């Protein structure tokens, strides 16, 4: 994913933001690379399209009148602009019954430390996260598995419903629903979720997860310190998804109905900022929004809605890319027809991902065939050590036409550090699993 344009831009000392604002004040970003030549920066990305819900005044930043039972008798709703990247990128505007700035008290609520494993050697890892016992609620029950400066990957198998409101003040959250269903109560309204959903929650969004059956919930959470965006190459210059890319606007689901609570009653929200936890109590319920619009909101995208592309011969993982974040990408390996050249090798070729650490999370399908990998397993293949099909699987997969496997992958630019919690679930024999075996698994693995 090397971005030559960004490299050339950095070498020239020119800022893409300044150029965009000066020369192209539209939501797509361009660089004046050479005289009379404009080139789009490949890695600059976009958000899902504009959405609106509820009541809005006809223009932004003007009075929105409320005639009855208004706060302090002021007869207005209170505008709240949520912005990203300063004031330069996607934003939304919400209208509250009461000012969202009212705070009764703040209290330190401890820390969630990441216990870094001091690794003795570089090697492949298989982390059997399905063995995690249920614990806590969907927020405080999370167990960190690996991290770097751009993200923290957690697993959660909660034992009890979330009772306290929560928001992440420093990171967006991608909550992948491995198992479970329910809805999120959020400032932006009610957002239903189901198995296979990526639930993407922008930072500062207050929410509570309400599971249909907490005993079935099983999540992979990517806490990302940049915005979660759609790859720019998926959207045309008009801001619409190109024909032929693996999803469409209709596959993205935003809150379906508002939750407007008009209640003067102390309400506490747990706020996470990196490792620090704080409890903030407002004198009223923060879910008091009567309308919002913009490009920034929580949404779901279901992995089974990903429309995978298949080639004559094997297509590399960028064809499976789903989201783009600073320092890593998220890919979806959805059920698909396999490559159709008469002599195609159907499993991925051996590869050295020399500039990336590669993590696969196994969601559905016949992964049991891959040397002990089970549903809910995570594998980490670090840059520097090649990985690929297990012995015997290249030949055994040649007659296959289709795979029903579902996997989520994240590929990071910077090295990932494992936690001690992850190491307690690590299979120490996994690095040996590429040695010849007299009983190879019946098929190969088609993701990663
Ligand atoms: Fe790979």
List the chain domain ranges. 4-40, 105-303, 308-434
| Confidence band, pLDDT 50/70/90 cuts, at residue 448 | confident
Backbone angles phi, psi at 423, to 5 degrees: -65, -30
Q: Note the pLDDT tens digit of each residue in 33-87.
A: 444 344 433 334 677 789 999 999 999 999 999 988 899 999 999 999 999 999 9
Q: What is the pLDDT of residue 242?
A: 94
DSSP code, position 401: -
CA of 357 to the centre of ligand 1 (A): 9
Question: Whole-angstrom Cα distance, residue 156 to residue 141?
Answer: 6
The pLDDT of residue 438 is: 60
Instruction: For Cα atoms 406, 209, 46, give the angle at the middle one, nearest 5 degrees.
Output: 60
- CA–CA dist 367, 337 (Å, integer): 17
Separation of 353 CA from ligand 1 center, angstroms? 7
Fold for 105-303, please state it.
Jelly Rolls (2.60.120)
DSSP 99-153: -TT--SEEEEEEE----B---SS---EEE-GGGPPP-S-TTTT-EEEEE-SSEEE
Average pLDDT of every residue of the chain: 88
> Do 105-303 and 308-434 come out as alike in CATH topology?
yes
309/334 Cα distance (integer angstroms): 10
- The two most distant CA atoms of the chain are separated, in Å, by 80
Residues with CB under 5 A from ligand 1 (ion): 358, 448
Ligand 1 center to 351 CA (angstroms):
6
Question: What is the DSSP code string of 285-326?
Answer: -S-BEEEEEES---EEEEGGG------SSPPPGGGGEEEEET
pLDDT in tens, 361-397: 999 997 644 567 899 999 999 998 999 988 888 888 8
281 sits in which H/E element = strand 276-282
* 225 vs 172: CA distance, rounded Å: 6
423 CA → ligand 1 middle, Å? 21
Q: Which of 121, 164, 174 shows the shortest CA–CA distance to 268?
A: 164
Instruction: Read off φ and ψ for residue 396, nearest 5 degrees.
Output: -65, -25
Q: 444 CA distance to ligand 1 centroid (A)?
A: 13
The pLDDT value recorded for residue 39 is: 40
Q: How far is the CA of 93 from the centre of ligand 1 (A)?
A: 41
Displacement of CA 53 from its chain's centroid (Å): 23
- The pLDDT of residue 190 is above 50: yes
CA of 374 to the centre of ligand 1 (A): 17
Ligand 1 centroid–CA 87 distance in Å is 37
Query: DSSP code of 215?
Result: G
Q: How confident is the model at residue 226 (pLDDT cuts 50, 70, 90)?
A: very high
358 CA from centroid of ligand 1 (Å): 6
**pTM for the complete prediction?**
0.90
Query: How many angstroms does the Cα of residue 7 sit away from the middle of ligand 1?
Result: 25
Task: Tell me, in angstroms, the distance from the centre of ligand 1 to residue 376's CA.
Answer: 18
Task: Name the residue among 233, 223, 239 with its Cα closest to residue 325.
Answer: 223
Separation of first and last alpha carbons in the chain:
16
Question: CATH class for domain 308-434?
Answer: mainly beta
pLDDT at 371: 66
């Amino acid at each position: 994913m090397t971005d030559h344009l960004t490299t050339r831009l950095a070498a020239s000392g020119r800022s893409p933001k300044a150029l965009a604002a000066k020369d192209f004040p539209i939501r797509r970003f361009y660089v004046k690379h050479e005289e009379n030549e404009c080139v789009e920066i490949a890695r600059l990305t976009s958000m899902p399209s504009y959405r609106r819900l509820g009541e809005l005044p006809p223009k932004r930043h003007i009075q929105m009148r409320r005639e009855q039972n208004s706060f302090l008798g002021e007869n207005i709703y209170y505008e709240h602009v949520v912005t990203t990247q300063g004031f330069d990128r996607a934003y939304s505007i919400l209208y509250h019954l009461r000012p969202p700035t009212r705070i009764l008290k703040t209290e330190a609520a401890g820390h969630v430390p990441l216990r870094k494993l001091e690794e003795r050697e570089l090697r492949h890892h298989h982390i059997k996260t399905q063995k995690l016992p249920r614990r806590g609620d969907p927020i405080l029950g999370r167990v960190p598995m690996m991290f770097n400066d751009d993200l923290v990957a957690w697993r959660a198998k909660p034992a009890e419903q979330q009772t306290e409101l929560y928001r992440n003040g420093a990171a967006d959250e991608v909550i992948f629903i491995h198992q479970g269903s329910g809805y999120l109560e959020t400032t932006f309204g009610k957002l239903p979720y189901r198995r296979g959903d990526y639930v993407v929650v922008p930072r500062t969004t207050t929410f509570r997860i309400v599971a249909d059956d907490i005993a079935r919930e099983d999540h992979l959470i990517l806490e990302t310190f940049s915005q979660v965006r759609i790859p720019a190459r998926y959207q045309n210059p008009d801001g619409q998804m190109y024909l032929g890319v693996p999803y469409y606007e209709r596959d993205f689901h935003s809150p379906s109905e508002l939750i407007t609570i008009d209640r003067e009653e102390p309400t506490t929200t747990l706020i996470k900022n990196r490792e620090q936890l704080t409890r903030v109590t407002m004198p009223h319920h923060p879910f008091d929004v009567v309308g919002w619009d913009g490009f920034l909101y929580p949404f779901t995208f279901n992995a089974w809605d990903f429309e995978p592309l298949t080639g004559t011969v094997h297509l590399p993982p960028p064809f499976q890319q789903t989201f783009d974040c600073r320092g890593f990408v998220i890919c979806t390996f959805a059920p698909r027809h396999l490559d159709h050249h008469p002599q195609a090798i159907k499993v991925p070729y051996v590869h050295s991902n020399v500039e990336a650490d590669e993590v696969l999370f196994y969601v559905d399908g016949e992964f049991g065939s891959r040397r002990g990998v089970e549903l809910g397993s995570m594998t980490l293949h670090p840059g520097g050590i090649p990985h690929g099909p297990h012995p015997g699987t290249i030949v055994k997969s040649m007659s296959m036409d289709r795979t029903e496997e579902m996997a989520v992958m994240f590929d990071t630019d910077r090295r990932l550090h494992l936690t001690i919690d992850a190491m307690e679930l690590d299979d120490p024999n996994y690095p040996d699993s590429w040695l010849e075996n007299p009983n190879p698994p019946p098929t190969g693995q088609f993701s990663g």
